[in-house]
Amino acid sequence: MLKSGTLITVKREADKKKNAVYHGPRFDVYAEDEHGTIYDLEMQNQNHHDIEKRMAIYQGNLEKQALYAGQSFSERRQTVVLFLCDHDVYNLNRVHYQLIPQLVGYPEILIDNGETNVIVNLKGDASKQAALNQEMLTYFNDGTVTGKFSVALDRAVREVKNDVKKGENYMTIEEYAARQSAYAREEERAEKEAQTIKGLVTLNLDKDQIIKFLIDNFNLDKQEALAAYERVMATA
């Protein structure tokens, strides 16, 4: 995931919401390392089932700083979006998940577009991780500072908490209310899908039949229907 020994400079990042129409993210922690790699670290304490789309939006904003005018595309700086979750997003009992683009039909061919997207399960077994990752998991689970990386993170977190200009870094009440309302609708929809899938399973419908039912009745595409089915079956 993160390379051991990498020195990271952490700083606060200005609000990216510059447009009243299109969504702009507010980075929890923005960082750059000695090699020029750009990082965005986000905390996530609820599973709203939209993390992949959120990562794409954050990557889009990091990419604006990844290449200077006049540089060749081969000089693009690496951009890393790291979501730290206190739950297991995919329920596979893994400490972290890395999302990578693949060539359709050829999963052995990985596409290097300069992006790295990682989801960390903070409740995972840190003993199975490299030293730097153990340090990060320990810090975000109990706040213990054990090395240079966590010192830098702790400093950034304290700066944000003490920032008197919180209005520049956090969403407005209206934005928060709108987002919570959207999440509530999403949770209600997901619950209806889950109950439907469980009911169809008790009727002995097979996987393909259930996915077709979801596509026909819940306005889902095949990939969304498959994801909903696998999410429910993983916890059945």
Spatial contact of 136 and 96, defined as CB atoms under 8 Å apart: no
141-171 pLDDT, tens per residue? 677 888 877 777 677 666 655 554 444 444 5
Which two three-digit tokens encode residue 48? Answer: 């709203």
pTM: 0.55
End-to-end Cα, the chain, rounded Å: 30
Report pLDDT for 4: 43
Residues of the chain short of pLDDT 50, as ranges, are: 4-5, 7, 13-15, 17-24, 164-170, 173
Report pLDDT for 210: 92
| CA distance linking residue 31 with residue 155, whole number of Å | 12
Return the sign of the alpha-carbon dihedral for residues 69, 73, 77, 81: positive
Report pLDDT for 13: 47
Spatial CA neighbour of 100 closest among 90, 89, 91, 109: 109
Report pLDDT for 148: 76
| DSSP 8-state class, residue 78 | P
What phi and psi, each to the nearest 5 degrees, are found at residue 71?
A: -80, 155
- Going from the C-alpha of 129 to that of each of 2, 107, 122, 124, the distances in angstroms are 10, 26, 12, 10
Spatial contact of 118 and 80, defined as CB atoms under 8 Å apart: yes
